[in-house]
Amino acid sequence: MNILVVTAHPLKNSLCGLFSETITSSLSNMGHEVRSENLYVNRFDPVLSIDERMTYYKESYDASKVSEEMERLVNSDALVLIFPTWWFGFPAILKGWFDRVWAPTVAYDHADDYGPIKPKLNNLKKAFVVTTLGAPWWVDHIILRRPIKRTLRFALLGACARKCKLKFLSFYKCESVDSARKYKQIRKIESELTKFFGNNATYAAHEESNVIIQEDKV
């Protein structure tokens, strides 16, 4: 598979940075083609431009400033997102990536009557998400009902990549993590990656026989 790995954390030595290295290495060792995109390292501008907003509902949408990011997205079979959860939302730089890259004519088309949008990211078959939180699990699950997972599943993938299967991993109370716990987290990620993606030869065989395993379909 062609897999796009997007990381959104300002610190290279963060837990997200460690997870990003682990995931990129593991997927490459499985035989997948991996493209890594670190939004902070690339100095991605999350601010939607005036021209982008002015042409949002026009056929000639101005995507000139994010054309490379869009090309990487539409040429990927799978997407991996690695980011911290801040205030139970996406980091601003990742939210801006969705705003600017998951744009009209690329991620979806507008309906003629401004009704439900028409999905265009049919290339995305799988999405693997890893996020870290400082809060305990019960605040995310019980009080706030997992807002980021619901946004990804129903608003983003549900609108733009309806056939995409989602795997979502959350790691809680991550403001202080000792070596033993980091090891367990990495092993968990590696195990879930293997189950979710398998190796590239297995994926190619499924593609050739037109068999796609249906798991957590959005």
Starting at the edge strand that comes first in sequence, how are the strands of the sheet with 126-132 ordered?
A: 33-38, 2-7, 78-84, 126-132, 165-171
Q: For the segment 155-181, what is each residue's pLDDT rounded down to a tens digit?
A: 999 999 999 999 999 999 999 899 999
Which pLDDT band holds residue 205 (cuts at 50, 70, 90)? Answer: very low
User: Residue for token digits 């902070």?
Assistant: 40
Q: For the chain, how big is the Rg over CA atoms in Å?
A: 17
Q: For residue 60, what is the domain's CATH number?
A: 3.40.50.360
Please check whether residue 129 lies inside any domain of the structure. Answer: yes
Instruction: Tell me the C-alpha to C-alpha distance, in Å, between residue 155 and each of 69, 204, 218.
Output: 20, 29, 10
Please check whether residue 214 lies inside any domain of the structure. Answer: no
Instruction: State the total domains in the chain.
Output: 1
Please check whether residue 213 lies inside any domain of the structure. Answer: no
Q: For the segment 25-81, what is each residue's pLDDT rounded down to a tens digit?
A: 999 999 999 999 999 999 999 999 999 999 999 888 899 999 999 999 999 999 999
- Pinpoint the alpha helices (H) of the chain: 15-29, 50-54, 67-74, 92-101, 137-138, 147-150, 157-160, 179-197, 200-208
Give kind and range of the element (H or E) at residue 79. Answer: strand 78-84
Please check whether residue 218 lies inside any domain of the structure. Answer: no
Please check whether residue 216 lies inside any domain of the structure. Answer: no
- Tokens standing for 74? 């539409």
Please check whether residue 186 lies inside any domain of the structure. Answer: yes
Range of the domain at 204: 2-208
In 3D, which of 59, 25, 32, 87 has the Cα closest to residue 203? Answer: 32
pLDDT of residue 165: 97
* Torsion sign, CA atoms 132, 138, 144, 149: positive
Q: For the segment 122-136, what is each residue's pLDDT rounded down to a tens digit?
A: 999 999 999 999 999
Beta-carbon contacts of 154 under 8 Å, excluding residues fewer than 6 positions away, are 218
Look up the pTM and report it.
Answer: 0.89
* pLDDT over 70 percentage in the chain: 91
